[in-house]
Amino acid sequence: MDSFNDVLDAVKLYCKDYLVDATYNLYVEGLQPILFENSKHVVLGVRNDFIRKILTDRYLPLLHEAFTAVLGFDVDIDLMVPEKKDPPVVDQDGPGLPSGHYEFTFENFIKGSGNQFAFAAAQAVAANPSGAYNPLFIYGNSGLGKTHLLTAIQLEIRRTHPEYNIVFVTCEQFTNEIIAAIRSGTTEAFRQKYRQADLLLVDDIQFIAGKESTQEEFFYTFNDLHTAGKQIVIASDRPAKEIKSLEERLRTRFEWGLSADIQPPDYETRVAIIRRKAELLHLELPDDVVEYIANNLKNNIRQLEGAVKKMNAYYMLEGISPVIGVAQNAIRDILSETQPVPLTVERIISEVARTYNVTASDIRGPKRNSAVSAARRTAAYVVREITGLSMEEIGKEFGGRDHSTIVYSIRVMEKDIQNDSRLKETVEDIIKNVRS
């Protein structure tokens, strides 16, 4: 098995969930494996300099995120255009590395006291779509298995009802699509895509907070599907009542059916998750290593799986056996991992841009109309709140603006937040969404 090929295939699958088909097909699908050395340096081949520039400018953070999700740790990524006479050669110095991707089925879901109710509700919906709970609203902190349950529902209903039109989308994708449809005049095609679904699954619905156009469109989509007796499943990192800038009419509809929460796994469930992940990766973990991981990572299933994936990568790529010392290093890396400031700033600006229905380039650019100015003030304020960057550094992130301009913008925001409860709720939701 070609280890790098497997890794890259899984990375592509990860990216595909975050990109529209045209973007994925043009920029990501054609990526070629060139070199994977020292477990930290990746070289990928692209077809031409144009694609290399677009990937570097726009999608490199997503590639980093994808490699981290697959391997359990970040890598350095270089993009190059191979000479035609020298086809890319995969580096095969190490044993094969599994892709890290497996089906999120009900069978693979590890049940425990913290998720048993949500699991049972998801199974009931899959067994009797539209006849059990509609909508099903699953909520819980990041990394506890909400996406797994949504995917399991999708897979089961696809198996039992192959004729169903199933749409699975993240709220971020839904928002980006409606913005693009409004700008291109294709809102009718957008509506047909969603309102003809037999099963609609929406992940991370908390990102709808504060986005008026998205909430308006989702309200009518929800109504049409629910009235037609179509199944809706929604996942969120918090209960509907805690999404502060969510319209009351949507909050009410989210609570029409059944709300099921997922709590962090107890010790026994953590052990079972670690053993199951190791089994899927064909990695033999000693009991003391399993216990050490379970005792030190308590609140996030993704972290548990990430530790196992990281140890597997050490073993498969470098031949390092999974012992306590390796587990300590893997956990230390996971607990100390923080999102790089440049990527955090980019995420903040993107989230604010979607909330205010402007573009990230508008926020960084010279435009001064009211919508862009409001978005820019909000973005600067949130960047300061989350990153702690100096006013000078924030100014550089916003097109090289003078620090005094940033100071003024943040002071205006502080005053406006005190006087405008809706703005305060919108800002709080943006901060929660960026941190989730």
Q: Does residue 99 form part of some domain?
A: no
Question: Angle at which helices 301-318 and 267-280 pack, to 10 degrees?
Answer: 30
Q: Does residue 196 form part of some domain?
A: yes
Residue ending a domain, among 80, 108, 143, is 80
DSSP 30-77: T-EEEEEETTTEEEEE-SSHHHHHHIIIIIHHHHHHHHHHHHSS--EE
Distance (Å, whole) CA 72 – CA 31: 21
Task: Give the model confidence (pLDDT) of 188-240 as tens digits.
Answer: 999 999 999 999 999 999 989 888 889 999 999 999 999 999 999 999 999 99
Domain co-membership, 156 together with 232 = yes
Domain co-membership, 374 together with 317 = no
What pLDDT score was predicted for residue 39?
Answer: 65
Domain co-membership, 332 together with 424 = no
What pLDDT score was predicted for residue 219?
Answer: 94
What pLDDT score was predicted for residue 134?
Answer: 93
Domain co-membership, 136 together with 155 = yes
Domain co-membership, 197 together with 60 = no
Q: Does residue 326 form part of some domain?
A: yes
Q: Give how many domains the chain has, as a whole number.
A: 4
% of the chain with per-residue pLDDT over 90 = 39
Label residue 340 by pLDDT band (50, 70, 90): low
Domain co-membership, 249 together with 137 = yes
Task: Give the model confidence (pLDDT) of 102-116 as tens digits.
Answer: 468 898 898 988 999
Task: Yes or no: say if 208 and 235 are a contact pair by the CB < 8 Å rule.
Answer: no
What pLDDT score was predicted for residue 172?
Answer: 87
Q: Does residue 237 form part of some domain?
A: yes
Distance (Å, whole) CA 428 – CA 359: 20
Cite the DSSP H helix spans in 72-170.
116-127, 146-160
Helix, coil or strand: residue 324? helix
Is residue 309 scored above 70 in pLDDT? yes
407: containing domain: 341-435
Label residue 92 by pLDDT band (50, 70, 90): very low
DSSP assigned state of 86:
S
Task: Yes or no: say if 158 and 121 are a contact pair by the CB < 8 Å rule.
Answer: no
Helix, coil or strand: residue 246? coil
CATH number, domain of 394, equals 1.10.1750.10
Phi first, then psi: what are they for 235, rounded to 5°? -125, 145
Task: Give the model confidence (pLDDT) of 143-183 as tens digits.
Answer: 899 999 999 999 999 999 999 999 999 998 898 888 888 88
Cβ neighbours of residue 200 closer than 8 Å, sequence gap 6 or more: 167, 169, 194, 221, 225, 230, 231, 232, 233
Q: What is the mean pLDDT of residues 285-302?
A: 89
Domain co-membership, 321 together with 248 = no
CATH number, domain of 312, equals 1.10.8.60
What pLDDT score was predicted for residue 74?
Answer: 81
- Give the CA dihedral 350, 356, 358, 361, nearest 10 degrees: -40
Domain co-membership, 127 together with 257 = yes
pTM confidence score: 0.65
Residue ending a domain, among 336, 360, 386, is 336
Label residue 337 by pLDDT band (50, 70, 90): low
CATH number, domain of 17, equals 3.30.300.180
Task: Give the model confidence (pLDDT) of 10-64 as tens digits.
Answer: 899 888 888 877 778 888 988 998 887 766 788 899 988 878 888 888 888 889 8
Q: Does residue 213 form part of some domain?
A: yes
What pLDDT score was predicted for residue 99?
Answer: 35
CA angle 104, 20, 82 (to 5 degrees): 95
What pLDDT score was predicted for residue 379?
Answer: 94
Q: What is the mean pLDDT of residues 389-414?
A: 90
Domain co-membership, 278 together with 257 = no
Residue ending a domain, among 232, 261, 290, is 261
Cβ neighbours of residue 324 closer than 8 Å, sequence gap 6 or more: 288, 289, 292
Greater confidence, 138 or 402? 138
Q: What are the tokens at 72? A: 């359990």
Mean pLDDT of the residues in the chain = 85
The 76-80 sheet, strands edge to edge: 32-37, 41-45, 76-80
Is residue 318 scored above 80 in pLDDT? no
**Would you call the peptide bond into 135 cis, given omega within 30 degrees of 0 as the criterion?**
yes
Label residue 6 by pLDDT band (50, 70, 90): confident
Is residue 342 scored above 70 in pLDDT? no
CATH number, domain of 241, equals 3.40.50.300
Task: Give the model confidence (pLDDT) of 418-430 as tens digits.
Answer: 999 889 989 988 9
Distance (Å, whole) CA 163 – CA 152: 17
Task: Give the model confidence (pLDDT) of 362-377 as tens digits.
Answer: 998 888 898 899 999 9
Q: What are the tokens at 30? A: 């054609």
Helix, coil or strand: residue 423? helix
Q: Does residue 88 form part of some domain?
A: no
Domain co-membership, 72 together with 25 = yes
DSSP 337-396: ----HHHHHHHHHHHHHHHHT--HHHHHSS--SHHHHHHHHHHHHHHHHHH---HHHHHH
Cα distance from N-terminal residue to C-terminal residue, the chain: 36
Burial environment of residue 45 by CB neighbours within 10 A (0 to 12, 13 to 18, 19 or more): middle
Q: Does residue 35 form part of some domain?
A: yes
Phi first, then psi: what are they for 19, rounded to 5°? -125, 150
Cβ neighbours of residue 12 closer than 8 Å, sequence gap 6 or more: 28, 29, 31, 66
- Please name which of 13, 41, 45 lies closest in space to residue 30, comparing C-alpha atoms: 45
Domain co-membership, 55 together with 158 = no
Q: Does residue 242 form part of some domain?
A: yes
Label residue 288 by pLDDT band (50, 70, 90): very high
Least confident of 65-79, 87-101, 391-405: 87-101
Domain co-membership, 257 together with 388 = no
